[in-house]
Amino acid sequence: MAKALSKPPEEQGDATETEFNLVGKPFRRVDGRAKVTGQTRFADDVHFPRTVYVKLVRSTVPHARIRDIDLSAALAMDGVLGTLVGAEMPDSFGIMPVSEDEHALAIDTVRFVGDSVAAVAAVTEDIAHAAALAVKVEYEPLPTIASVAEALATPEPQIHDYADEGNIHKKVSLKFGEVEAGFEEADLILEDNFFYEGSNHLALEQHSSVAVAEDDDRVTVYSSTQCPHYVHRALTKTLGIPSSRIRVIACSNGGAFGGKSDPFNHEAVVAKLALKLGRPVKITLTREEVFYCHRGRHPVQMNLKTGFRQDGTMASQHLRTTLDGGAFGSYGVASTFYTGALQTTTYKLPNYWFESARAFTNKPPCGPKRGHGTPQPRFAYEVQLDKAAHELGIDPAELRLRNLVEPNTITANWLRIGTIGLKECIDAVVKGSGWKARYGKLPEGRGLGIACSAYMTGAGLPIYWNHMPQSGVQIKLDRSGNVAVFCGETEIGQGSDSVLAVVVAEVLGIDIRDIRLCVGDTDLTPVDLGSYSSRVTLMVGQAAKQAAERARDKISNAVSEHMEVPAESLVFTGGRVFPAHDPDKGIAFNEAVIIAESRFGTLGTTGSYIPPRSPGRFRGAGVGPSPTYSYSAAVLEVEVDPKTGLYDVDKVWIAHDIGRALNPVLALGQIEGSVYMGLGEAMMEEQAFRRLPKHLSSSLVHKFPSMLEYKSPGFHDMPEMTCYMIETDDERGPYGAKEAGQGPLLPITPALANAIFDAVGVRVDQVPIHPDLVLKGLHAQATGHEARVGPAEFPDIDFGEPLIVHTPEQGGDGRAANDPKAKRKSLRSSSGTMKERDEALKEHSSATLTTD
C-alpha cells in the first residue's frame, strides 16, 4: 500500500501534489483491536490487590453551612478503613488560575445537592456505600440561588466571595469598532431573544480513579481524564507534595466530550487516602454522581441584535449573553468569553459588541462540552440569519455566501483566520440536498434548513500562563526497527493515538505496526496539555512531525555517509530507505537505524509545538485565537406533523472543512459523532432542575439524574447522513489538517430550527426543540398570533464600561483604547517553532493574559 515518493518529504512543496505513505488513506485505528476485544483498559478496569473502595458523602441540600460531620457510625462498621473530610485537604484547586474555588471535600459550605462533604474508604464498595450513608451531616441552610435571575436578585449570600459582584461570577463587555454607527448604516435591524438549555456530556463511562501509594510521599493516580497534566497540577496543590513525586496516568476514556477535562475532587480524594492507608484506593462514580460532577453545556440566554444592509451584508452586531454557571468556576470564565469570541470567524462583521455575565448558582458546575460555549451563540446567529434572509428576500444559503470571511485576514476582534473552505462547504450541502429546487417549495410539513459554523483547531493559549510547549513528543529508535513514541496526549475515543502514530509512520515510511506508543503518563511522556479545544491533531501532530523529521534526518545523515549518496536524496517509504534515483540500492528501515545507532550512539529525538502568537492584546483576547479554524455547513430535512408538533429529522447533509483528513474513516467518525451530539441537544437533551415540593424541603434538585430519564438519541432517532470533507490544506496543520471533532456539532441545532420554520412556518428560538414547543407555535399561528416560541425578554444587566478596541480596519493595534488596568507583561512567540519563539522572547514582546 505504500507508494514511492518522488523526492524526500522536505522537498515536497505543495502537499496536494505528493503521494503520501499513509496520510489520507483509511486504516484501522491503532487501538482498534483492543477496543473490540475488551482489552482496552479504562480506569475502572485497573485492578490492584488489596484495593480499598471509596464512596463520597454528598450533600442533600443545595446551599448550607456545614455545622457538624459525625463519622463515628461509619468508622464503627466492620471493613471501614478510614475517612476523609475537607479540613484534611485545605488547599483549593480549579482548572483556571482565576477561579481555583474547589476543594477535595467541602470546607464549611456545600453549594449544590451532590457536592462532596466527606469520603469513606472500606474493603468493599458495598461497605463503603453503607458507611457513607451512616455519616451524619448537620447543615445550616442558606438561601438557594437557582437561576441567573435569582443570582442577579440575590447578591447575598455569595456562593463565592471572589465573584465580580454579588453572585455574578464574571462580567465582560468588549466593543470592537463603531457599533452604533454601524446600526445607523443598517437597512434592517433584527433583535431576538434566544435560550439554549444546558446538557450533559453523558459519556458512557462513568468517571473512575485508582491511586497507588509507592512511598510515604509518592503516589500514582490512574484516571479517566482528558487532561492528565492539569490533574497533575491540581494534585500538586491539594496533596502538598512535590509534583515530581506524583504520577498521573490517563487511561483510555470511555467517551469524554469535555466532561473529563477538569481535575476532579475525587482524584484528590483517592490519592490522599492511598497515602493515608498505604493501600490502592479506587473510586468509580455512579451515573447519578456523574450528573453532579457535570461540567456540561452552560444554559445560555441570549439577546442578539444585528444590523443588515439591503444586500444582506452586515454592518454591526451587539450580542448579550448570560451563563448559568452552577456552583464552581470550572472553565466558566473561558466559557463566558467563548459565548462571544467566535462570532466573527464565519461572516464579515465590521463592528461588534459583546457583553456577557456568568452567574454562580446552587447547581452542579457547568464547564466545557463539545463546542465549548459556542453552540449557544451559533444557534442564535444562524437562526437570526435565516430570519434576515426572509425579511430581505434573499435565499438563506446565498445570504451566507455574501458574508463569508476572507482567508488570511484578521477579524474585528483580532482573530487571525487561516484557510477557509466555508464556500465549498455551503456549495456541497446546497447541491447535495437539492436546495435550490427544494427549499421553500416542499409540501406543507416538510422543510429544509441550513446553517454554518466555525471552530478552533486548538486554543491558542494554555490554561495557565507559561512559555513552554503545549505539546511535546519524544521518539526512541533502536536496532530492532521498532519506533517508540512518547507523548502526553490522551485517547478519549477521538483517535489521537492514531494521529500520533500515522504522523510518525508517514515521516519514517514505516508500517504503523512497527510503532509502539506510550501516552498520557506524566512521569514517562513529555507534556501535552490534553484532549480539549480540538487541539490534538494539530498540536500533537506538529510536535510528532518535528520529532520524526529529526529522527529521519539523523538516520539520513548516517545512511548517506554509509552509502555515499547525498542525504537529501534518501527516500523513506515502505519500511525501506533508498536513494531516489536508485531504489534497488535501498536497505530495510531497521538496517538504516543500525547504521545510525552505530554512527551516533543511542538514538532519540524530540519535537514540540507552540501555537503562533495572536495579534489581539486586550484583556480577553486570549480566548478565541487558534492556529486555524475549521468550517462546517449543514442542511437538515425534517418532516413535522402539524397536528402534534412531532417531527422527524430525515436527512442531514454535512460538509466540513477539515484541512486534510489524516485518516478519512476516523475523521468521518468525528464529523458524524458531532452531528449526532448536535441532534441530541437540538431535539431532547437537557440537564434540568426542579424544586422538591414544600413538604419535602423545597430543595433544588436535579430533575432526572439517571440515564432512564435523561433522554439522548438512540439508533432509531438517527437520520441518514451524507458527509463531505473539504480539504483546504492549511499550512498551519500537520499535512494541512484541521480539527473535526467539535465544529460539525455547531450548525445542527440552528439548521433544525430553520428546517422546522421551512416546514410549518414556526420559529422556535430555543433548544431543545421539544415537539410541544412546535405545537405551541402552530397553535399561535392558527389563532393569528406570532408563530414564535422562545424567551420574551433578556435580563436587565449592567455589564459595566466596555473595553473599547479599535478594529484592524480602523487601524487599531490590537490593544484596548481605554483599559484602566495595567497590562501584564509577558512573552509570546510569533510563530509555532521554538526558534522563532526564542527570538520573540529575546525581543521581549508582550501580550496580555486573557482571563484576569
Partner 1 sequence: MPAEKRIKGDGSGIPDGMTGAVLKVNGDDYPVVFPTNHTLLEVLREECKLTGTKHGCELGECGACAVLVDGQPVLSCLQITTDVVGKSIETVEGLQHGNDLHPLQETFADLGAAQCGYCTPGILMVAEALLEKEADPDDEQITAALSGNICRCTGYNRIVEAVKWAAAKKRGDDWRPDEELFMGTEIPK
Touching partner 1, residues 563-602 (CB under 8 A): none
- Of residues 45 and 100, the one with the C-beta less far from partner 1: 45
The residue from 182, 299, 377, 493 that contacts partner 1 (CB under 8 A) is 493
Query: Applying CB under 8 A, what is the total number of residues that bind partner 1?
Result: 71
Residues 756, 682: Cα–Cα separation, whole Å = 12
Q: How is residue 358 written as a grid cell?
A: 456568568
Angle between helix 748-760 and 771-782 (nearest 10): 30
Whichever of 455 and 676 has its CB closer to partner 1, that residue is 676
Select 5 or 675, whichever has its Cβ closest to partner 1.
Answer: 675
Sheet holding 766-767, edge to edge: 766-767, 188-196, 300-308, 314-324, 352-359, 168-176, 803-805
Binding of partner 1 at residue 712 (CB under 8 A)? yes
Is residue 358 within 8 Å of 333, Cβ to Cβ? yes
Give least dist CB 45 to partner 1, A: 4
Residue 28 binds to partner 1 (criterion: CB under 8 A)? yes
Q: 199 vs 829, which CB is nearer to partner 1?
A: 199
Query: Residue 473, exposed/middle/buried by CB under 10 A (0-12, 13-18, 19+)?
Result: buried
Q: Which is nearer to partner 1, 85 or 536 (CB)?
A: 536
Using the rule CB under 8 A, which residue among 6, 16, 39, 598 binds partner 1? 39
**Count of CB atoms within 10 A of residue 145's CB?**
29
Kindly provide the residue ranges of all beta strands, DSSP E only, lying in 574-672, ordered along the sequence.
Answer: 576-579, 587-588, 603-609, 629-640, 647-657
What the block records as the C-alpha cell of 830 is: 510569533
* CA–CA separation, 729 and 574 (whole Å): 24
Which residues from 414-473 bind partner 1, rule CB under 8 A? 424, 427-428, 431-432
Give the span between the Cα atoms of 190 and 535, in whole angstroms. Answer: 35
Shortest Cβ 733–partner 1 spacing (Å): 17
Looking at the Cβ atoms of 28 and 824, the one nearer to partner 1 is 28
Residue 144 three-state SS: coil
State the DSSP code for 707.
T
Nearer to partner 1 among residue 427 and residue 489 (C-beta): 427
Residue list 142-201, contact with partner 1 (CB under 8 A): 201
Restricting to residues 253-272, which ones interact with partner 1 according to CB under 8 A? Answer: 253-257
Residue 216 interacts with partner 1 (CB under 8 A): yes or no: no
- Rg (alpha carbons) of the chain, rounded to whole number: 27
Q: If binding is defined by CB under 8 A, does position 735 make contact with partner 1?
A: no
Residue 484 interacting with partner 1 (CB under 8 A): no
Min separation Cβ 237 and partner 1, Å: 29
694, 716, 842, 844: which one binds partner 1 (CB under 8 A): 716
Please select the residue that binds partner 1; options are 273, 666, 737, 803, rule is CB under 8 A. Answer: 666
Q: Three-state SS string across 610-623, please?
A: CCCCCCCCCCCCCC
**From edge to edge, which strands make up the β-sheet containing 446-456?**
446-456, 629-640, 647-657, 720-726
Under rule CB under 8 A, residue 29 binds partner 1: yes
Between 172 and 677, CB nearer to partner 1: 677
Taking the complex as a whole, how short is the minimal distance between the CB of residue 716 and partner 1, in angstroms?
5
Would the CA dihedral through 206, 71, 79, 247 be positive or negative? positive
To partner 1, the closest distance from the beta carbon of 675 in angstroms equals 6
- Nearest approach, Cβ of residue 29 and partner 1 (Å): 7
CB closer to partner 1, 495 vs 627: 495
Asked, as a colleague might, if the bond just before 157 is cis with ω within 30 of 0, I would say: yes
Contact string (CB under 8 A) for partner 1, positions 668-707, x = contact = xx--xx-xxx----------------------------xx
Find the part of the chain contacting partner 1 (CB under 8 A) among 23-31, 395-403, 507-515, 782-790. Answer: 23-31
Q: How far is the CB of 231 from partner 1 (least distance, A)?
A: 19
Q: Which residues contact 482 (CB under 8 A, 6 or more apart)?
A: 514, 515, 516
